[in-house]
Amino acid sequence: MKLRPIKWFMEVGQDPILAQAQAVQMRRQVPLLYGLLLINSTALAWSHADNAPILLTVAVPAFLLGITAVRLIHWVRIRNDPTPEPQEARRQLRVISLAAAGFGVGYLAWSLSLAQYGGPFEQAHTALYVSTTVIGCIFCLIHVPQAAILGAAGVLPAYFLALLGQDQHAVFAPIALNVLLVVLVLLRVLCNTFENFSTEVAAREKLAEQHEEMVRLNAENHALAHTDSLTQLGNRRRFLADITAVTGNPANVGVTTIGVIDLDRFKPVNDTFGHSIGDELLNRIAERLRQVAGPSATLYRLGGDEFGVILHASPEEAAEIAERLCQAVAMPIFVGNRELSVGASLGLAHFMDEGTACRALWEHADHALYHAKRHRRGTAVTFTDDLEDVVRGEQLLEVELKAIDVDKDLQVHVQPIVDYASGGIVGGEVLVRWTSPQLGSVSPERFIAIAERSTIIHRITLSVVERALQLLAQLPDHYSLSVNVSACDLNAPETISAILSAVRRSRSDPGRLWIEVTETAVMRDLDAAIEALNMLRGAGLKIALDDFGTGYSSLSNLHRLPLDRVKIDRSFANDLGNSYSSSISRAVIGLCETLELSCVAEGVETAEQAALLREMGCTLLQGYFIAKPLPIAQFLALDAAAEHTAEYKAA
């Protein structure tokens, strides 16, 4: 440490952190210093009691010791106070520095006055008193070097000169030199020690700052990791953490409900208008949910078009809020100058039993949502025991389904498609059938939906495709067959390539195999679907859009898809008496003509329906009126059944 005296003394307590650390240390040592001063000085006064005037042995020491005692009491009192503010710490340091000089001069003047009295022993005591007291005080002031140096400076020069000037006993001169040397060395050691102390304080401070910064960053990361960046709502991770907290606290039983929300018709908006509009829409929906949810609700975005909510309310209130959330989302939303309309289905699970685990509660809400999406779109469905039975049934089905040998345990039926223009069967649709030894005959709609939740669907699709290809080999060349392909197949490139290699292996004309996809499946991920359909079509396969009219894609979307055929959903054929159904059917048939797509009417059940459709220009028909889906052997035999053919020809 460089000694630039004035500046250095002025700097005492300037570094706020250091000043505080010094003040804390001072409190522990200054009382010792004053105590030392009191004891040493009392001893000196006492040893001179017999040979010095009462002024020097009683009056002056009483005055000095009085002030010292007052300071001692003050320091003892503040010993346990909280760390002083930097300002206060600085003040204390300055006071102690000045006090050190003041006390030094005061006590030295007194002790030197005493030195004139008594014999060599008393004088030796005085010399000893000054030197030991100075050394003791320097030690006590180790954390305030300015005070130590000021104190020493107030004492040493006069002391040194006084001892040197002692001509009665030559021994005092070497003692003086000796003490001076020791004190100088001590002061040097003290400065070194103080330098280490201040470095350590700075390092500690830096460490504390780094720690604070780390804590802040951690908190920030934690918040980021739990926040959805688009809507600023909590994300899936936070939802899971919060449900875990809910289920972990029995006080939440009966007063907490969790909900999962899935938007209806969001995907086509995103696909049609682009992701930025989709994002904006999600933001607006999040905003709307926030407005409607009220203070008892915490909202989350779980990903894509899925939201979550935790409601701290009674089951009845929670159900009401949930219904309001669905209604709020269903109101038209204007993004830019576009009016967009989506809906929300919501699954609710009340936390009614302490034993319900977090995952189970979420699963219950998911099941209720699943039920809402399938049966009560746009509404809130609450998980109940009955629903649980349905869900259990589905789970049982899933277990059974996972255990089957797809090629052996599933059968296929074929439903003929006839062409009124040529007057005969032109092929059929291959439909999968499952009769489980445990559950009996299970409708494909049920088990396909379950298969779609796992990878089983890919095996089913491939198996049906392979059987269709085998069947094609046994059928006349002008027959074609169609197979149904799920949304998940369209998103699975390996399934698409497996279909293509099966077609190549079979050596059938790929143009005889139709791939049926529903518009809902296509719209789920339009880009992926178009890519998959292009691959299939590129290999020569034909593409049919199934169940047309039930989904949400508009007629104008048709030209965006690589299509060869549209199948009008069976609900239209069944309802041709209704002017809406008949005009939609007519429009679709007309559009297919314009776009040069073939058009099949499904679900034709009566001769009237067949006649009407024919009159509208649709000659390709499929439905119970022609034939139900038939086992393969019956389908193969059908062409031979002349009366049957005659029956539909006559219609």
**Distance of closest approach, residue 641 Cβ to ligand C2E, in angstroms:** 18
- Decide if 258 contacts 308 (C-beta within 8 A): yes
Residue among 228, 305, 394, 516 that touches Ca ion (CB under 5 A): 516
Nearer to ligand C2E, 409 or 605 (CB): 605
Nearer to Ca ion, 489 or 546 (CB): 546
- Decide if 426 contacts 619 (C-beta within 8 A): no
What beta strand segments (E) does 265-327 contain? 297-303, 306-312
**What's the sign of the alpha-carbon dihedral 192, 194, 198, 203?**
positive
Nearer to Ca ion, 280 or 547 (CB): 547
Strand order from edge to edge, sheet including 256-264: 297-303, 306-312, 256-264, 343-350, 380-382
**Distance of closest approach, residue 516 Cβ to Ca ion, in angstroms:** 4
Nearer to ligand C2E, 122 or 466 (CB): 466
Residue span 440-479 as binding mask against Ca ion, x where in contact by CB under 5 A, dash where not: ----------------------------------------
**Distance of closest approach, residue 587 Cβ to Ca ion, in angstroms:** 18
Give Dmax (Cα) for the chain: 154
Verify binding: residue 489, Ca ion, rule CB under 5 A. Answer: no
Instruction: Kindly give the pairing relationship between strand 480-484 and strand 513-518.
Output: parallel
**Distance of closest approach, residue 578 Cβ to Ca ion, in angstroms:** 19
Nearer to Ca ion, 463 or 484 (CB): 484
C-alpha count within 13 angstroms, C-beta hemisphere, residue 205: 13
Verify binding: residue 546, Ca ion, rule CB under 5 A. Answer: yes
Query: Residue 444 has which token pair?
Result: 């494909």
Residue among 484, 495, 609, 619 that touches Ca ion (CB under 5 A): 484
The string over 125-162, giving b where at least 16 C-beta atoms fall within 10 Å of a residue's C-beta and e elsewhere, is bbbebbbebbebbbbbbbbbbbbbbbbbebbbeebbeb
**Distance of closest approach, residue 546 Cβ to ligand C2E, in angstroms:** 5
- Decide if 499 contacts 517 (C-beta within 8 A): no
Enumerate binding residues for ligand C2E (CB under 6 A).
Answer: 415, 431-432, 443-445, 448, 464, 484, 486, 516, 546-547, 570, 603-605, 623-624, 629
Q: Which does 63 bind (CB under 5 to 8 A by kind): Ca ion, ligand C2E, none?
A: none
Cα separation, 34 vs 37, in Å, equals 5
Nearer to Ca ion, 525 or 602 (CB): 602
Q: Which does 154 bind (CB under 5 to 8 A by kind): ligand C2E, Ca ion, none?
A: none
Residue span 595-634 as binding mask against Ca ion, x where in contact by CB under 5 A, dash where not: -------x--------------------------------
Q: How many residues bind Ca ion (CB under 5 A)?
A: 5
Nearer to ligand C2E, 125 or 467 (CB): 467
From the list 143, 191, 140, 135, the residue with the least C-alpha distance to 159 is: 135
Nearer to Ca ion, 146 or 518 (CB): 518
From the list 528, 454, 543, 541, the residue with the least C-alpha distance to 502 is: 541
| Residue 580 neighbours by CB distance under 10 Å | 9
Q: Return residues touching Ca ion (CB under 5 A).
A: 484, 516, 546-547, 602
